[in-house]
Amino acid sequence: MENIDDEYRNYWETNTFLQTEELDCYFDESMSVSYEYDSSSPEGMQSSSSPPSKNIVSERNRRKKLNEKLYALRSVVPNITKMDKASTIRDAIEYIKSLHSEEKKIKAEISDLERGIMTSSSNSDNSEFNQESCCKRKRTKMVRCIDPIEVIELRVSNMGEKTIVVSLECNNKGDTIIKLCKAFESLNLKIITSSINAFSGRLFKTVFLQGDEDDEDDLRVKIEDAIAALNNPESPMSY
C-alpha cells in the first residue's frame, strides 16, 4: 500500500519522457542509479519491497531483449502489415509457411527440369512416377504421371422422377479433385446438381442428374471407365 508511492514515483518518471522502447537505453543507464541504492536495502522494509529493484532492472532488460528480437524478426520478414507486436509474429508465421510452399513448388520444378533434361528428346517412359511435378505441363503433351484415383465406393441409384444419384468416395491426394471433375465433365451428363466434399483425406462426390432407371448400369460403367482412363497415362484423356 504505502510502497506503491515510491514504486510509482519513478514509474511516472519512466513513462513521462519515454513511451517507445527504443529509447530506454539511455534512460536505462541514467535511471538505473536510482534503482541501485534501492537494492542497498535488501529487506529493510516489510514484505513486498524487500527484493525489488534488482529484479526490475533485469526484467526490464529481458523485455528489452525480447523486443529487440521481435524487431529483428520484423526485419527479416518482407511483408509486414502493421508494426503491431502480434502482427509481426503472424506475418512471420505466414511468411514461413509461404516459404515452405514455395520451397516445395521449387523442388518440384527442379525435379521436373532434371527429368526434362533427361528425357528432353526422347519420351521414353515415365515408369517411376513423380507425382505433383507432372500436372503443370499438362497442355503440351499428355504423357502424365499421376497419383491414381482409388475409388473406395461408387453407387449409382435411381431416385425416381427420372433422377439418378451418383455418390462416389475416393482418396484425396494431389489433384484428385481436378481429375475427378474432368472425368465427370467428359461424360456430358445432364447434371442437375453436383457437389464435392473433402475431409479426412477422402473425397465425396455426389451428382444428381437426369436419367432413367435403366441407365444406371450404363452410367456406372461409364464412370468407372472414365476414371480408369484418367488413371491410365496412355489414354487420350488426361489432357
* Rounded-to-integer distance, Cα 23 and Cα 44, Å: 32
Does 60 participate in binding a second copy (rule CB under 8 A)?
A: no
What residues numbered 38-77 form the site for DNA, per CB under 7 A? 47-56, 58-60, 62-64, 66-67
Nearest distance from residue 219's CB to DNA, in Å?
16
Number of DSSP helices (H) and strands (E) in the chain, helices first:
6, 4
Select from 16-24, 51-59, 104-112, 224-232 the region that touches a second copy (CB under 8 A).
Answer: 104-112
Q: What is the 3-state secondary structure (H, E, C) of 176-236?
A: HHHHHHHHHHCCCCCEEEEEEEEECCEEEEEEEEECCHHHHHHHHHHHHHHHHHHHCCCCC
Please say whether the beta carbons of 77 and 91 come within 8 A: yes
Select from 21-29, 52-60, 137-145, 160-168 the region that touches a second copy (CB under 8 A).
Answer: 137-145
Dig out the grid coordinates for 65 from the structure. Answer: 531483449
Does 134 participate in binding a second copy (rule CB under 8 A)?
A: yes
Dig out the grid coordinates for 160 from the structure. Answer: 425416381
Select from 21-29, 119-127, 137-145, 203-211 the region that touches DNA (CB under 7 A).
Answer: 21-29
Residues that bind a second copy (CB under 8 A): 4, 48, 62, 65-66, 69-70, 72-73, 76-77, 81, 85-86, 89-90, 92-93, 95-103, 105-107, 109-110, 113-114, 116-117, 120-121, 134-142, 144, 175, 177-178, 181-182, 186, 188, 191-199, 215, 218, 239
